[in-house]
Amino acid sequence: MILMPRRALLAAFPLLIARPAAAQERFLTLASTTSTEQSGLFAHLLPAFTRATGIGVRVVALGTGQALDVARRGDADVVLVHDRAAEERFVAEGFGGPRRAVMYNDFVVLGPAADPAGIAGLRDTAEALRRIAAARAPFVSRSDRSGTHAAELRLWQAAGLDPTTGRGAWYREIGQGMGPALNTAAAQEAYLLADRGTWLAFRNRQSLRLLVEGDQHLFNQYGVMAVSPVRHPHVKAAEVERFVAWLVGPPGQAAISDYRIGGERLFFPNAERPGT
């Protein structure tokens, strides 16, 4: 057995106990939406934040309603979602805030190339939904309490319809995220509401086509909120403060603007517009 001289052992000891601390990664947990994850935005955006700050980001990607529930339980440090009414309730209930606008894109109505409801080219989403319902054409609903699902329900209401009342086989609630919903609609030649970002990143399109866009009611705003350290003292408030400042500041806003697929921008930064 080789014995280390006592002086060398003592000199090495501080290095041995320092390594675990140095190896600990600084990170925060972000609860967000399937659209931000599946569109590829986070794969572009978050490494830039980590390079700038040394803070990692672990993403929990769910529908907006579920992401807010995760944040309410204190299982995330910060939340980035897209349902303004639900976000404002979250802040009013004291679970976090303030809410900061980050970026926007829009929703689009997709459907099969055959378009049995005849909605291609419409700019009135309510009329498009009325035609789909009248034709009893297959429509896939995420039905998962996501921001997209909440927007879909508002659009049905604006059309004067409740597809969940007395519905037939045409209205198909799947309880899944945006990617699975797109795959289901493509396989079943059905209509659905999708965010433009995930649609642009989606590759298994089959006969799906973008049929309705440009309606002001399809506007899709995203907001970010820190989880309250008063409600949940364990949240990483310092890391979250840096994340939010970076995201709504020039570096984060430029990184959002730079993200494109096929030359087309998926999200538009608008943190400078606090009322959105």
Do residues 71 and 196 share a domain?
Answer: no
Within-domain flag for 147 = yes
Within-domain flag for 178 = yes
**Do residues 156 and 162 touch, judged by C-beta distance below 8 A?**
yes
pLDDT tens, 56-79? 999 999 999 999 999 999 999 999
Within-domain flag for 19 = no
Do residues 200 and 131 share a domain?
Answer: yes
Q: Please compute the mean of the pLDDT values over residues 164-193 and round it to a whole number.
A: 91
Strand partners of residue 57: 28
Within-domain flag for 140 = yes
Do residues 166 and 142 share a domain?
Answer: yes
Do residues 42 and 74 share a domain?
Answer: yes
Question: Which CATH number characterizes residue 98's domain?
Answer: 3.40.190.10
Q: Please compute the mean of the pLDDT values over residues 77-105 and round it to a whole number.
A: 97
Do residues 117 and 214 share a domain?
Answer: yes
Within-domain flag for 48 = yes
Cα torsion 204, 207, 212, 217: sign: negative
Q: Please compute the mean of the pLDDT values over residues 131-141 and round it to a whole number.
A: 96
Do residues 145 and 212 share a domain?
Answer: yes
Do residues 52 and 119 share a domain?
Answer: no
**Do residues 155 and 170 touch, judged by C-beta distance below 8 A?**
no
Residues contacting residue 126 through CB under 8 Å, at least 6 positions apart: 155, 158, 159, 160, 217
Cα torsion 74, 225, 68, 61: sign: negative
Does the pLDDT value for residue 142 go beyond 80? yes
Full residue range of the structural domain in which residue 184 is found: 113-218
Do residues 72 and 126 share a domain?
Answer: no
Does the pLDDT value for residue 258 go beyond 70? yes
Please name which of 74, 75, 72 lies closest in space to residue 90, comparing C-alpha atoms: 72
Does the pLDDT value for residue 13 go beyond 80? no
Give me the chain's average pLDDT, please.
Answer: 90
Do residues 146 and 82 share a domain?
Answer: no
pLDDT tens, 112-121? 999 999 999 9
Within-domain flag for 189 = yes
Do residues 75 and 62 share a domain?
Answer: yes
Does the pLDDT value for residue 87 go beyond 70? yes
Q: Rounded to an integer, what distance in angstroms lies between the CA atom of residue 258 and that of residue 264?
A: 10
pLDDT tens, 220-245? 999 999 999 999 999 999 999 999 99
User: How far apart, in Å, are the Cα atoms of 214 and each of 143, 185, 199, 206?
Assistant: 24, 21, 15, 23
Within-domain flag for 126 = yes
Do residues 56 and 123 share a domain?
Answer: no
Report pTM. 0.85
- Give pLDDT, residue 15: 38
Confidence category of residue 165, pLDDT binned at 50, 70, 90: confident
Do residues 262 and 136 share a domain?
Answer: no
**Any idea what the Cα angle at residue 268 is, between residues 88 and 53, rounded to 5°?**
80
- The tally of domains found in the chain comes to 2
Within-domain flag for 20 = no
